[in-house]
Amino acid sequence: MDLSETVRTGAAPEELYDLVSDLANYPQWLGLVVRADREDETSGDARGSWMVELRGRVGPLARSKRLRMIRTCEDRPRFVRFERDEIDVRDHAPWRLEAEIDPDGAGSTLTMRLHYGGNLFGPVLAPILRDEIRQGRQVVKERFPPSD
């Protein structure tokens, strides 16, 4: 499953990069991420690693998922990528999150891309993720309103 969302903002690229380059910030603006704890101090991973808890809700039912994510690529202030990187011996479905920031006149445009390579909850998960991403888009737009 691949999802993408774009939002034009009044923020400078550096401001957006500061928001999206640290997963610990995501619970502030993306309801799907209920917790993201940086674990670099204990893991020794200089790239940045986080334990992330995702929670999606369909009516009265909620589903949670914990992932260990690492920052695998960064080009400040234009691009950052996070990928699932569990430290146990089991096979895990891939998760990849990318944020691309393009200067846009008086602000910048943020494009977020999410890839989930598993098939667990496929038809149920996609609409939940789409809805949460749209809500996150609105929060970012309200936080950094475009100038026009």
For the chain, the C-alpha Rg in angstroms (whole number) is 15
Q: Assign 121 to helix, strand or coil.
A: coil
- Highest mean predicted confidence (pLDDT) among 30-34, 98-102, 119-123: 98-102
State both tokens at 71.
């920052």
pTM for the model stands at: 0.86
Q: Which two tokens stand for residue 60?
A: 């009265």
Q: Where are the domains of the chain?
A: 2-31+72-143
pLDDT > 70 in the chain, percent? 90
pLDDT at position 11 is 93
**Architecture of the CATH domain 2-31+72-143:** 2-Layer Sandwich (3.30)
